[in-house]
């Protein structure tokens, strides 16, 4: 029994680590979609963050600078996206897809000089798991929550702060108004473009930081296409968590756990009631996408307002065409 509890707590610890970049990217995406912009460039912004963050870590050996650089790289990608979709009213889907290609290109280009290098001691030390005495010994949940890198704790705090921001602050409610009905928001005196820029770019910052979790902490090395599609899982989880940052925490860790199960049981032969079952990592990988489709159907059936997607999602706002 004790052994099982131990194994479970290790597993949950890993699940959180396999979900942290997805959490940050999902949060970034939520921020962007809440102001009505569907950004399919999350994968690209994560790659930008991962490569620039790693490169900054190597050249400065300063963990804070590395994370900041990663965030700014993601934000720069988001700035291009915002310029085209907000100011120039371009097609959001196409712009997002191109941003993903562009981000992958830039990261592949930068990464050429990064592969094989390892992080400076100062950086890996700063992000090493911090073990909090007493608390870490809580059964099952102890390791998951209290023997983690500070990166994990910060991402959870960001999620909670974002929830408070979107639901209980003036600025947050303004932002949601922009996403729901930009015309009305404009009429009530909110600067729609400025609001969109601010949130799209901050969202890109978070995506960049999310990508850097992989290159700075989890892997921690540079490898080509390090995100391996995590950005698309984030696009799915934005919907799965019904645009709620706190739910995103659970969603991201749940899918981290799923990945963990996939890895662990890939080649294991298990039997249930005498018949052999085989875990297929590929079929498990399908779950987030299928689950998201189910959620998409369910939210439109349940007419609960807070679960719906922002009304103005994907539609460029143009005052003169109101």
Partner 1 sequence: MIRIVTRPEPSAFRENVLRLFAVVAALAAAAVFMAMMGYNPFDIYAKMIAGSLKSAYRFKETVNKTIPLVVLSLGIAVAFRMKFWNIGAEGQFYLGAYGASLVAFTMPSLPAIILLPLMLVVSFLFGGLWALVPAVLKSRFSASETLVTLMLNYVALKWISYLQYGPWKDPAAKGFPKIAPFGKSAILPDFLGIHIGWVITLALVAIIYVLVKKTKLGYEIDVLGESEATARYAGMSVTRITIVAILISGGLCGIAGMMQASAIEHSLSEQLSGGLGFTAVITTWLARLSPPVIVLVSFLFSVLLQGGSFLQSSLQIPSSVADILQGIIIFFVLGSEFFVRYRFTRSAPGEAGK
Binding partner 1 (rule: CB under 8 A), the pick from 89, 125, 311, 322 is 89
Give the HSE-up count for residue 220: Cα atoms under 13 Å, Cβ half-sphere: 24
The helix (run of H) or strand (run of E) holding residue 53 is helix 42-60
Work out whether 296 is an interface residue with partner 1 (CB under 8 A).
yes
Q: How far is the CB of 315 from partner 1 (least distance, A)?
A: 12
Work out whether 281 is an interface residue with partner 1 (CB under 8 A).
yes
- Token pair belonging to 309: 């997607």
Residues 147-175 as b or e (16 or more Cβ within 10 Å = b): bbbebbeebbebbeebbebbeeeeebebb
Work out whether 285 is an interface residue with partner 1 (CB under 8 A).
yes
The residue among 134 and 297 lying less far from partner 1, judged by its C-beta, is: 297
Binding partner 1 (rule: CB under 8 A), the pick from 17, 230, 309, 312 is 309
Binding partner 1 (rule: CB under 8 A), the pick from 7, 59, 108, 184 is 108
Q: How far is the CB of 34 from partner 1 (least distance, A)?
A: 16
Work out whether 93 is an interface residue with partner 1 (CB under 8 A).
yes
Give the HSE-up count for residue 2: Cα atoms under 13 Å, Cβ half-sphere: 1
Binding partner 1 (rule: CB under 8 A), the pick from 112, 264, 311, 322 is 112
The residue among 112 and 125 lying less far from partner 1, judged by its C-beta, is: 112
State how far the Cα of 127 lies from the Cα of 293, in Å rounded to an integer: 35
- Token pair belonging to 56: 């900054």
The helix (run of H) or strand (run of E) holding residue 105 is helix 92-111
Task: Select the span of 155-163, 207-215, 247-255, 297-305 touching partner 1 (CB under 8 A).
Answer: 297-305
State how far the Cα of 46 lies from the Cα of 181, in Å rounded to an integer: 29
Binding partner 1 (rule: CB under 8 A), the pick from 91, 131, 169, 188 is 91
- Smallest CA-to-CA distance from 206 within 275, 151, 243, 128 is with 151
Q: At what angle do helices 92-111 and 63-82 cross, to 10 degrees?
A: 140
The residue among 144 and 284 lying less far from partner 1, judged by its C-beta, is: 284
Work out whether 320 is an interface residue with partner 1 (CB under 8 A).
yes
Work out whether 187 is an interface residue with partner 1 (CB under 8 A).
no
Task: Select the span of 20-28, 170-178, 244-252, 276-284 touching partner 1 (CB under 8 A).
Answer: 276-284
Q: What is the DSSP code (8-state) at residue 319?
A: G
Task: Print the binding letters for residues 199-238 with partner 1: x by CB under 8 A, - otherwise.
Answer: ------------------------------x--x--xx--
Work out whether 83 is an interface residue with partner 1 (CB under 8 A).
yes
CB 86 within 8 A of CB 193: yes
Degrees, nearest 5: CA angle 43-46-50: 140
The residue among 126 and 207 lying less far from partner 1, judged by its C-beta, is: 207
Residues 23-42 that bind partner 1 (CB under 8 A): 38, 40
Binding partner 1 (rule: CB under 8 A), the pick from 52, 72, 78, 104 is 104
Q: How many amino acids of this chain bind partner 1 (CB under 8 A)?
A: 52
- Smallest CA-to-CA distance from 82 within 92, 93, 97 is with 92
State how far the Cα of 5 lies from the Cα of 202, in Å rounded to an integer: 39
Work out whether 290 is an interface residue with partner 1 (CB under 8 A).
yes
CA distances from residue 228 to 52, 132, 188, 214, 299 in whole angstroms, order as listed: 17, 32, 43, 11, 28
- Token pair belonging to 42: 């999350």
Residues lying near partner 1 in the complex (CB under 8 A) are found at 38, 40, 80, 83-84, 87-91, 93-95, 97-109, 112, 229, 232, 235-236, 239, 278, 280-283, 285-286, 289-290, 292-293, 296-297, 300-301, 309, 314, 318, 320-321
């Amino acid at each position: 029994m004790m052994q099982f509890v131990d194994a479970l707590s290790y597993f949950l610890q890993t699940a959180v680590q396999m979900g942290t970049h997805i959490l940050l990217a999902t949060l970034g995406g939520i921020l962007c979609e809440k102001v009505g912009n569907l950004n399919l460039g999350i994968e690209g912004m994560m790659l930008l963050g991962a490569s620039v963050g790693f490169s900054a870590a190597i050249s400065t050996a300063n963990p804070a600078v590395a994370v900041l650089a990663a965030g700014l790289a993601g934000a720069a990608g988001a700035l291009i996206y915002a310029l085209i979709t907000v100011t120039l009213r371009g097609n959001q889907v196409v712009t997002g897809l191109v941003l993903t290609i562009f981000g992958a290109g830039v990261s592949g280009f930068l990464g050429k000089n990064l592969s094989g290098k390892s992080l400076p001691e100062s950086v890996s030390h700063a992000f090493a798991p911090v073990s909090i005495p007493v608390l870490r010994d809580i059964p099952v949940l102890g390791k998951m929550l209290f023997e983690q890198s500070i990166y994990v704790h910060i991402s959870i705090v960001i999620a909670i702060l974002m929830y408070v921001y979107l639901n209980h602050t003036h600025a947050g409610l303004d932002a949601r108004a922009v996403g729901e009905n930009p015309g009305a928001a404009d009429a009530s005196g909110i600067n729609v473009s400025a609001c969109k820029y601010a949130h799209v770019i901050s969202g890109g910052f978070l995506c960049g930081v999310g990508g850097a979790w992989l290159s700075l902490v989890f892997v921690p090395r540079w490898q080509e296409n390090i995100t391996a599609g995590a950005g698309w899982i984030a696009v799915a989880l934005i919907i799965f968590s019904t645009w709620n940052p706190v739910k995103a925490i659970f969603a991201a860790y749940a899918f981290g756990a799923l990945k963990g199960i996939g890895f662990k049981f890939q080649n294991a032969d298990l039997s249930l009631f005498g018949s052999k079952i085989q875990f297929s990592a590929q079929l498990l990988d399908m779950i987030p996408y299928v689950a998201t489709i189910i959620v998409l159907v369910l939210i439109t059936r349940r007419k609960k307002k807070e679960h719906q997607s922002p009304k103005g999602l994907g539609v460029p706002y143009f005052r003169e065409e109101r």
